[in-house]
Structures are given as C-alpha cells and as structure tokens.
Amino acid sequence: MTDVLNIGLSALILGLAVWTIVAREAYAAVVGFIAYGLLLTLVWVQLHGIDVALTEAAIGGGLTGALLIGAAARLRGSETTARTERPGTATRWLAAGVSCAVAVALAICVLALPEPAPTLAPEVLANIAVTEVGNPITAVLLAFRAMDTLLEAIVLLFALIGVWSLAPDRAWGGRPGLLQSAGPNGMLAFAARALSPIGVVTGMYVFWIGADHPGGKFQGATILAAMWLLVMMAGLADAPPISRRWLRWLLVAGPLAFIAVGVLGAITAGAFLSYPQGNAKTLILVIEFALMPTLTLVLGLMLLGAPRRGESP
C-alpha cells in the first residue's frame, strides 16, 4: 500500500516538474512550482526527514513561492515581448540534453554509493550529549557545523541589501511595498486579526521545540514573517522605513551575537565557534534568540521588496 502511494507520489512530482518547465506562462509555472514544493514536503515526511519537510514547506514552497508570484506579476507586462526572443529549437534541445545528462550522472552517483552509505550520523549521536540539545539536526546546525549556519544568516542579510539596492533614489530610506488601503473592517483585516495570534504562538512553538524535536528558528521565523506580512497586507500596520536605526540594529543583531559567541569560544575554548564545556546549551539558546528577530525581519522585508515610497506613510 505504501509502495503504491510512494510510486504515485514520485510520478506526480516528476509530471509536475516537467509541466513546470514546459508551461508557457510564468504565472502557471510558479503555481506548478509551489505545488511541487508541497508534494516534495510529503516526500521528506515519507523519508522521515521532518526537519527538512518543515523547511521545504515554509521556505521552499511558501516563501519562495510568494517571492516568485511577485516576480511573475511584475514580469507579466513584458512577457509577450520576451517570448519573441525565445532561443531556437537547437539551443533548447541542447539545454534539455545537458540537464538530462546531469540528472543521469547524479542518479548514477547516488546508486553507486556503497551499502550502507557513508554517514556521520553515528558520530553525531555519540557526541550529541555534549551539546545538551535533543534534536540531532539542531546539534549539527548550531554546534558541529555552526559556521555554515552563521554564513547562512549573513548571506540572507546580503540578499536583503541586494533587494534594497534596487530602490529608486527618491525612495531610498523609505518604506518598502505598496501602501495598503484595505478597510479596517474588511475580510482580510478580520483574517489578520484572527490568524496572527495563532500564527505567532505556532511560530514561537516551532522555534522553541527545535531544541529537542523537529523545528527551529528558520521555520519559526518564516511563520512569524508570514503573520507580519498578513498584518501589513490587511492594512493594519505599515512597513517600517528602512532608514530606521532600530530596524538596522535588529537586522545585524543576530549575526553579531553569533560572531560574539564565536569569538568568546576562541578565547575560552580554543577555537572559533567552539563552546566552553557545560555552557553549550546556554550559548546555543543565546544564538537562537538573537537570530530569531533578525531572520523574521529579513524574510519579511525580502518579500516586501525594495523601498518604493517616502518615509511618510
């Protein structure tokens, strides 16, 4: 029974992937991509990768999908002209051939792995007690490979700076996004009022539970950012001008705290980002709590886009 479900799921995903590529309209392709992300979430659940499934649903399907919908809406005007510049048949077949060759090469590599596949999982489980967290994924992300997570947080910040740099000169330092004029008694305002408390609780829960169960700051921050965007879309609150000092401090607070903990480790434990004996859990919590507002703001502001209005609302 499960096999039938798995085969059906795989076939559906492959079909949807092909459809996303051949779809002529950008908007249709984006819708296909979002559905593809949600189906991929089910695959990760089937593979018992609940952490990855949560991330895929929140960031792969939800956040990236919303970003792509915005991009497709902006491109709609120029889409017909872009279609006339389509590359020739030969170029497209060549691209398809190269993509298929890469996919086949990857498949061969995966199938040629020795059985059982080389893994560091036993070593992680053997050393997890030192970090005092219960979820091995969190232990890897914030203790054994903390450097990767630090660089990830910094890359997100750079991405936001890249988005902001697209602002026209007169709007620099202003508020991102369009002014929402939805009435305070509208349907969306009701949904925002009803959903945002639930969403905030869920987001904090996912964040806090990440120490011992699937979850964590990235997934939690995405939920919080979604609630923030919902409130702004309903016209209940306006986006802050990007020139505000508190906003900029919050944006760099997470990575700065992370680096500070890293330097502390270099002084007390002998290596950058290593935690002194017995204090690992506390320091991991400090990093998580500092990163949470930063990630929420970065993800929300990235979806809002470049500043388009002045400072006054």
Which residues on neighbouring strands pair with residue 176, listed in sequence order?
307
Distances (CA, A) of 156 to 32, 72, 233, 294, 302: 25, 22, 23, 10, 9
Stretch that binds other proteins, among 114-122, 158-166, 189-197, 243-251 (CB under 8 A): 189-197
Least separation in angstroms between residue 131's CB and other proteins is: 28
Q: Given candidates 191, 260, 263, 266, which one binds other proteins under the rule CB under 8 A?
A: 191
Q: Given candidates 93, 190, 205, 249, which one binds other proteins under the rule CB under 8 A?
A: 190
Is position 194 an interface residue for other proteins (rule: CB under 8 A)? yes
Do residues 182 and 189 make contact, with C-beta atoms less than 8 angstroms apart?
A: yes
**What track of x and - describes contact with other proteins for positions 159 through 188 (by CB under 8 A)?**
----------------------------xx
Provide the 10 A C-beta neighbour count for residue 4: 8
Is position 198 an interface residue for other proteins (rule: CB under 8 A)? yes
Least separation in angstroms between residue 1's CB and other proteins is: 14
Least separation in angstroms between residue 297's CB and other proteins is: 24
Near other proteins in 204-233, by CB under 8 A: none
Least separation in angstroms between residue 202's CB and other proteins is: 9
Helix spans in 63-213 (H): 64-75, 79-84, 89-111, 121-131, 136-139, 146-164, 187-209
Segment 8-16 long-range contacts (CB within 8 Å, at least 24 positions apart): 9/39, 9/42, 9/43, 9/46, 10/43, 12/39, 13/39, 13/40, 13/43
Least separation in angstroms between residue 196's CB and other proteins is: 12
**What sign does the CA torsion over 114, 116, 119, 123 have?**
negative
Q: Given candidates 195, 209, 250, 269, which one binds other proteins under the rule CB under 8 A?
A: 195
Is position 5 an interface residue for other proteins (rule: CB under 8 A)? no
Which residues of this chain interact with other proteins, rule CB under 8 A?
Answer: 187-188, 190-191, 194-195, 198
